Amino acid sequence: MAFLPLRSLESASRQVYDRWVGSLSEELSDPGCDRNEFCRRILTGLYYPQYATTPIEELSPETQIALLQMDPRNITLEPEYYQDIDAARYEPRKPLIWLWEMFDKSVLGENIELGVKFRRMLAHHVFGSCGRNFKAFHFVKVSFGYNLEVGDDVVVHRHVLLDDRGGIIIGNGASIADYANVYSHTHALADGRDVDCPKTVIGNGVRITYHATVLAGVTLADDSMLGALAVATRDVASGQVALGIPAAPKMVKPPREERPKHPKTVDPLADL
């Protein structure tokens, strides 16, 4: 295989993006920030700037309804229907989760440079903990947010679901590929209202590849790998590559001393 590190690109608008994201980060860091109003203002600016100062009663019913969706106080999200939600922890995160999801659906959402920086900024206020250089691409979806513990240099690609209802730990250098699902709750066979919420652990350096699924309570040990379309129903040991449905160890990674000695390269989307 060819050694193909990421390219560095010079964006003409980088300074504009960095100033905007930096100003939002500073605003969010203020304990007095009204996060609901913060979300409403940004989303209105993105979707309906022409109505930002128009009295809502002067607009058509359909436009009124659309504008109401810009304010997280007017919408409900799935975790709010769960009995086990910690309302005190979820309340300050809900506006930012809604902002994250609606940003992704806006014209800005698929701009890789801006999107990664914007989501990284939000992740530090949404997750239970978030390390340096976190990268999330568009349409990553989280549940509670506060039950996510994310290490350094973690990458989460497009259309990934992180169901952190029972808690998800993602270790340093882990990578979750497109359309993967990681769960931390499960339902009883006899009655779906009987719910178990074990913690799911993704170890350091783990790779979860395309369209794979990790079920609740599974631990993928450090340096393990889950193959494309695989469903992990039980733990995977360090260095093992699990494939299939249900996933089972089929390969073993080569010892570290036998792996290629590529030079260190710069990640163009890393923290400055």
d(CA 209, CA 35): 35
Helices and strands per DSSP (H, E), number in the chain = 6, 19
Spell out the per-residue pLDDT of the chain, length 272, in tens.
Answer: 899 999 988 888 999 999 999 999 999 999 999 999 999 999 999 999 999 899 999 999 999 999 999 999 999 999 999 999 999 999 999 999 999 999 999 999 999 999 999 999 999 999 999 999 999 999 999 999 999 999 999 999 999 999 999 999 999 999 999 999 999 999 999 999 999 999 999 999 999 999 999 999 999 999 999 999 999 999 999 999 999 999 999 999 999 999 999 999 989 999 86
178: nearest Cα among 136, 150, 231, 143: 136
CATH class of 139-254: mainly beta
The DSSP code sequence of 96-155 is HHHHHHHHHTSTTTT-HHHHHHHHHHHHHHHSSEE-TT-EE-TT-EESSSTTEEE-TT-E
What the block records as the tokens of 199 is 């913690």
Residue 78: how many other CB atoms lie within 10 Å: 11
What are the beta bridge partners of residue 252? Answer: 240
What are 67's two structure tokens? 């504008």
> The pTM is what?
0.96
| Domain edges within the chain | 17-130, 139-254
